[in-house]
Amino acid sequence: MSASQWRRAMNSAAAAAAPTLAAQPARVPRPAAAAAGDALDAPPWLDRLGARIRLRHAVVLAAVVLYPLVASPFFTYQIGAQSLALGLIALSLTFLGGYGGMVSLAQMTVAGLAGYLVAIFGTSSMASISLGWPWWLAVPFALLGATVFAAAVGWLSVRTEGIYTIMITLAIGVAFFYLAQQNYTVFNGFQGLSKIAAPELGGVDFKEPVAFYFVALGCALAGYFLVKHLVRAPFGVALQGIRDNPRRMASLGYHVTAHRVAAYAVAGLLAAVGGVLMVWYNGRISPGTVNLAQMISILIIAVLGGMKHPIGAFVGAIVYVLLQNFAIDLFVRERFNLVIGGVFLAVVLFSPDGLLGLWAKLRSSLVRTQISHQKRRRP
């Protein structure tokens, strides 16, 4: 058996193993009668899909779709859309860190580069810099450029392992910030580029809060399901194997470096989509968008929510954006960084799995007390 055949065999074995792995965490068994009734007429893929969907998924989906109808434009745009865009960037870090074991601080840099590229390829206030392409041409090229950049960052940082990754990506990100600040020919220096608006399409102006919210929601859902799908696909399973034991995976015939660089590219694409949303949301981009504080805020969001599950990125983003908007009312106006830094420290020190970890802990202790109650009642 050649190496490539062996790898293919391993891949399919891994893919076969994936659903069973994924099925394990499901705690609530499906009612047997419903399963038997469905199985007769529903096609198997719909049945599989139905097995994964629970009440809470439907509730969350309904809530995010109906949200702009009940919320004020401020809550739709400033809270809702911003959380979704930030969450998407944080999701890229969750994918990379949680499933690939590579904590990159350069995700905001990738997002910022995508934003800059949209401004440079498309239209902005600086006619001498912007090329003036239509948005449907500028956006794909911005995404492509940012993804290639992310892959290059990945190629550089996977040459070393573990904690070096965080240092190298941090250095790359800060270097990019200083470059954007110093350079006037491409990045327009300290001022950056402004008047970058979301496009109009078919009579719908995507600058409007509700329309923009749905664009952001669509992108966020697509990103979320992409990650959910990838982590169960052979590529994602191999990536998790590499996270846990790169040496063993290498000896099984997997190309460790290629998987890691590919993970960076995928995460780069997610971050780039988030970056385009962010630049449309703000209408402008400047070095302040990619400075150290912003780079770290993405890490804070991902860690705050919990890196073990893709939804953590969005939970963290909502908490972060709410804190950002309302901590001002609760505490001294300028001390937002102190609050967010303190919250982050508390999470890292006391609940390393973030808010989701806290929730899981709470639920398991609730279940435990219920069980002990039942035990007590039984005799």
Partner 1 sequence: MTDGRKIALWLLFAGPIAVFSVWAIVDNPPLYFKTLLNGLTLASLYFLVASGFTLVFGLMRNVNLAHGSLYLLGAYVGWIVGENTGSWLLAVAAGFLSSAALGLLMQVFIFRFMEGQDLRQTLVTIGLSIVFADLMLWAFGGEIYTFDPPAWIYGSTMLPVVEKFPTYRIAVLLAAIVIGFGLWTFLAKTRVGMMIRAGVDDRGMLAASGVNVQLVFAVTFAIGAGLAGLAGVVGGTALSISPGEDTRYLLASLVVVIVGGMGSVVGASIGALLIGLAEQFGLAYAPTYSVVFTFVIMVVALAFRPRGIMGRAG
Residues that bind partner 1 (CB under 8 A): 103, 156, 159-160, 162-164, 166-168, 170-172, 174-175, 178-179, 182-185, 291-293, 296, 299, 303, 334-335, 337-338, 340-342, 344-345, 348-349, 352
CB of 25 to partner 1, least distance (A): 23
**8 Å CB contact between 81 and 239:** no
CB of 306 to partner 1, least distance (A): 13
CB of 353 to partner 1, least distance (A): 11
CB of 342 to partner 1, least distance (A): 6
Residue the block writes with tokens 């891994």: 14
CB of 134 to partner 1, least distance (A): 30
Q: How big is the chain by its Cα radius of gyration, in Å?
A: 22
Q: Kindly tell me which of 215 and 263 has the beta carbon lying closer to partner 1.
A: 263
Distance CA 64, CA 67 (A): 5
CB of 85 to partner 1, least distance (A): 22
CB of 248 to partner 1, least distance (A): 19
Q: Kindly tell me which of 170 and 273 has the beta carbon lying closer to partner 1.
A: 170
The Cβ of residue 183 has, within 10 Å, a number of other Cβ atoms equal to: 12
**8 Å CB contact between 14 and 259:** no
Q: Kindly tell me which of 171 and 360 has the beta carbon lying closer to partner 1.
A: 171
Q: Kindly tell me which of 265 and 299 has the beta carbon lying closer to partner 1.
A: 299
Q: Kindly tell me which of 124 and 294 has the beta carbon lying closer to partner 1.
A: 294
Tokens of 283: 């209408």
Tell which residue, 358, 326, 351, has the closest CA to residue 340. Answer: 326
Tell which residue, 24, 11, 4, has the closest CA to residue 236. Answer: 11
Distance CA 224, CA 239 (A): 17
Q: Kindly tell me which of 226 and 256 has the beta carbon lying closer to partner 1.
A: 256
CB of 183 to partner 1, least distance (A): 5
The Cβ of residue 353 has, within 10 Å, a number of other Cβ atoms equal to: 18
**8 Å CB contact between 225 and 81:** no
**8 Å CB contact between 86 and 317:** yes
Q: Kindly tell me which of 329 and 334 has the beta carbon lying closer to partner 1.
A: 334
CB of 303 to partner 1, least distance (A): 6
Distance CA 101, CA 255 (A): 16
Q: Kindly tell me which of 100 and 234 has the beta carbon lying closer to partner 1.
A: 100
Q: Kindly tell me which of 270 and 298 has the beta carbon lying closer to partner 1.
A: 298
